[in-house]
Homo-oligomer: A and B are copies of this chain.
Amino acid sequence: MAIDENNSGTCPVDRGLMRVGDRWSILILRDIERGLTRYDQMRTSLGIAPNILSRRLAALTDAGLIEKRRYSQRPPRDEYLLTEAGRDFLPILAAIGAWGRKYNGKGALTRQIDVETGEPVRPVVIDANTGAPLGTRPLRFEYPD
């Protein structure tokens, strides 16, 4: 299954995965968030083959999550920065990280710290309407048509 597949029906999850539905893409976003914005930084950080990295960067650029910016004309040097859509995806990374920590968190792991409070961030997904964490209130699906 190609990640940039055709229609994906009426499911918003599928719509999201269409654009970032593979592991390398997500890991690239994470690297950029951590400040690794250059090609070779990502390549060595991820241990990814260069052809694959090129392809993923192109796909993420097409999908509108990152953009390439030349920060030096001579020598020609580029960096990849998050677009607004890319930045908006970062909280999901944090939520995945929290889940990974809970269920596969053996050993010391990288954390995110709130600069002001000095406390580790504890990401939780809530419903903005009720303020309640998802999973604590009964929900139902509503399908179009």
**Cross-chain contact of A101 among B12, B87, B134 (Cβ < 8 A):** B12
**Cross-chain contact of A143 among B88, B99, B110, B115 (Cβ < 8 A):** B110
Given A95-B92, A110-B11: A87 and B135 interface contact (C-beta under 8 Å):
yes
Chain A 64-100 interface residues, beta-carbon cutoff 8 Å to B = 64, 85, 87-100
* Minimum distance in angstroms from A20 CB to a CB of chain B: 8
From DSSP, what is the main secondary structure of chain A's interface residues? mixed
The reply to whether the CB of A15 lies closer than 8 angstroms to some CB of chain B is yes
A105 touches B15 (CB 8 A): yes
How many A residues have CB within 8 A of the partner chain? 76
A–B pairs, 20, beta carbons within 8 Å: A1-B24, A13-B93, A13-B100, A16-B97, A16-B103, A17-B23, A22-B22, A34-B141, A88-B102, A90-B134, A91-B125, A92-B92, A114-B129, A114-B138, A115-B138, A117-B129, A122-B128, A123-B126, A124-B125, A125-B125
